[in-house]
Homo-oligomer: A and B are copies of this chain.
Amino acid sequence: MTDVGGIGAEQLRSYIERIERLEEEKAAMTADIREVYAEAKGNGFDVKIMRQVVRLRKLDSADREEQEELLDLYKRALGLAV
């Protein structure tokens, strides 16, 4: 094994390259997500609201209800209530 300054250079290179490959795949996912949103936008959907929906669907119904109550409370506190 190539040893540079007491470090296993090949082992390090292997880790770094694995990370880079995974980062690339992750970046591709990010691009794909952006594309789906763009396609939805092209079909008349609002991207910001879709992002909110995605976030809400991650919560269970109790958490969703709690967040909605808190948001409502904060809105009323700041005079944003409809």
Contacts and interface: CB of A to CB of B under 8 A. Distances in A.
Contact of A36 (B22, B33, B53, B54): B22
Sort chain A's interface into a size bin. 20 to 34
B23 A26 contact: no
Q: How many copies does the complex hold?
A: 2
Contact of A18 (B16, B22, B36, B53): B36
23 contacts: A7-B45, A11-B43, A12-B45, A12-B50, A15-B37, A15-B39, A15-B40, A15-B45, A15-B50, A16-B54, A16-B57, A18-B36, A19-B36, A19-B37, A20-B54, A20-B57, A22-B29, A22-B33, A22-B36, A23-B33, A23-B54, A26-B26, A26-B30
B33 A19 contact: yes
